[in-house]
Chains A and B, each alone.
Chain A
């Protein structure tokens, strides 16, 4: 097998790649923030909520975790407009990814909440703290610390999964790669480059999470 790599044309289109990279980063960061909020609220509802609330959250979590992300994405982008709800591609992508990550985060954080000893909650109650105060000051921090490795790994997976949004024409890194490919016909080079970009991004996220763990959670 002989193949002579020619990266020149591909590199020439770096601005496209950069633009895509920016959207991928944006999508990832926004989704992580929203997903974490959904996870914290949903897990609290799942563990401490009223029975009906627990059931609703369970249905949400299991529906999302047992259907493909791309189907969820298409439902929101192509399906919902029929019901009068129309989003542009980037917004639809953000919504779908957040809903998706939220469900996984709930499951992960739930495990953390369930590992907090009952006695910690009783200590909070005995001091006159409200349920919300107990959650915020007593429970969240140890629970997140415990689940941080699982959660950050899920977040990195999410970042990689953002590549499916190119399917609804959101102009992320992967979408831009396809554009360059169709212009240069340098498939191998483009996808090597894009793979390298995702790899670097993933490693950077892991590094950032390790940093957060070190500075926020490690001592305590």
Chain B
């Protein structure tokens, strides 16, 4: 059974169809890069996977659980699906430690001492062990995003979603975040990442999915798909972002 299965997913905002019959499967351990123009539906598709976006047609399943079934306990599901956002979305009034330990403590009931150790461990992984007692606004954008990744990791998810996580960063800060991402990838995490970093996608992803007009237009192994696009739309897109 695939870890993620989207079947004919349709998403509309009013009369505007954002996803027009999207089908995609993701196997455990895979790293999927999702690329495409803004407005092509890539972020929306990602947000359907953990149920942040209700859908109007089709099914989304994670680990065999139907995400869009009203009877599904989304809170339980989301403990296994981490997401990192473009704008970090750290809790500004909480210390880095509390940002990371909040969910483990109140959702999973991890005792405080253990939670602190957990925060230290995930912060070490993202190279920010010394920032445990800082507030988010004392950190640079790149550091905040690394804390957001650490916060997500602390829940020990089976799947991580990354929604354009370097798009809001100054260019010189992108590298440090991508490095952390590579590190997470190396540990075997299943990842779906919406990104504009084509070079990174080629390097890290197993598979590239190109979205266009609410559909998966083309997909395949990263190097092959990015090297020899089969559709003119992908070719145009690639030449636009690479130059």
Chain A interface residues toward B at CB < 8 A: 119-120, 122-123, 125-130, 133, 137-138, 141-142, 145, 220
Are B107 and A126 interface neighbours, CB within 8 A? no
Are A127 and B103 interface neighbours, CB within 8 A? yes
Given contacts A137-B102, A141-B93, contact A123 B85 (CB under 8 A): yes
Given contacts A133-B106, A137-B106, contact A128 B155 (CB under 8 A): yes
Which of chain A's residues have a CB closer than 8 A to the CB of B74? 125
User: CA separation between A98 and B155, bound complex, in Å?
Assistant: 42
Which of chain B's residues have a CB closer than 8 A to the CB of A119? 85, 87, 89
Query: Shortest beta-carbon distance, B115 to chain A, in Å?
Result: 13
Query: Does B144 have its Cβ within 8 Å of any Cβ on chain A?
Result: no
Are A145 and B103 interface neighbours, CB within 8 A? no
Which of chain A's residues have a CB closer than 8 A to the CB of B152? 127
**Consensus secondary structure, chain A interface:** helix
Over the window 57-88 of chain B, the binary record of Cβ atoms lying under 8 Å from chain A Cβ atoms (1 yes, 0 no) is 00000000000000000111011011101010
User: CA separation between A214 and B74, bound complex, in Å?
Assistant: 39
Are A128 and B107 interface neighbours, CB within 8 A? yes
Give the contacting residue for A128; candidates B79, B85, B89; CB below 8 A.
Answer: B79
Which of A127, A130, A133, A142 has the most chain B CB atoms closer than 10 A to its own CB?
A127
User: CA separation between A128 and B76, bound complex, in Å?
Assistant: 6
Which of chain B's residues have a CB closer than 8 A to the CB of A145? 93
Are A129 and B107 interface neighbours, CB within 8 A? yes
Query: Does B139 have its Cβ within 8 Å of any Cβ on chain A?
Result: no
Nearest opposing residue in chain B for A121, CB measure: B89
Query: Shortest beta-carbon distance, B209 to chain A, in Å?
Result: 21
Are A126 and B82 interface neighbours, CB within 8 A? yes
Nearest opposing residue in chain B for A123, CB measure: B89
Are A142 and B89 interface neighbours, CB within 8 A? no
Nearest opposing residue in chain A for B52, CB measure: A122
User: CA separation between A128 and B50, bound complex, in Å?
Assistant: 10
Q: Number of B residues whose C-beta is below 8 Å from A?
A: 26
Which of chain A's residues have a CB closer than 8 A to the CB of B89? 119-120, 122-123
Q: Could you show 5 A-B contacts with beta carbons less than 8 Å apart?
A: A120-B89, A123-B90, A125-B52, A127-B78, A141-B93
User: CA separation between A114 and B105, bound complex, in Å?
Assistant: 27
Are B52 and A126 interface neighbours, CB within 8 A? yes
Given contacts A119-B87, A142-B93, contact A127 B52 (CB under 8 A): no
Nearest opposing residue in chain B for A127, CB measure: B103
B95-119 interface (Cβ within 8 A of A): 102-103, 106-107
B110-151 interface (Cβ within 8 A of A): 135, 151
User: CA separation between A142 and B91, bound complex, in Å?
Assistant: 9
User: CA separation between A129 and B106, bound complex, in Å?
Assistant: 8
User: CA separation between A128 and B93, bound complex, in Å?
Assistant: 19
Are A133 and B52 interface neighbours, CB within 8 A? no
Are B85 and A127 interface neighbours, CB within 8 A? no
Nearest opposing residue in chain B for A217, CB measure: B93
Query: Shortest beta-carbon distance, A139 to chain B, in Å?
Result: 10
Question: Told that A119-B87, A127-B78, A127-B155 touch, could you supply 5 new A-B pairs with CB distance under 8 A?
Answer: A129-B102, A129-B103, A138-B91, A142-B92, A142-B93
Which of chain B's residues have a CB closer than 8 A to the CB of A123? 85, 89-91
Query: Shortest beta-carbon distance, A122 to chain B, in Å?
Result: 6
Which of chain A's residues have a CB closer than 8 A to the CB of B107? 127-129, 133
Give the contacting residue for A126; candidates B76, B83, B87; CB below 8 A.
Answer: B83
User: CA separation between A130 and B102, bound complex, in Å?
Assistant: 12
Which of chain B's residues have a CB closer than 8 A to the CB of A128? 75-76, 78-79, 103, 107, 155
Give the contacting residue for B50; candidates A126, A130, A133, A142; CB below 8 A.
Answer: A126
Which of chain B's residues have a CB closer than 8 A to the CB of A122? 52, 85, 89
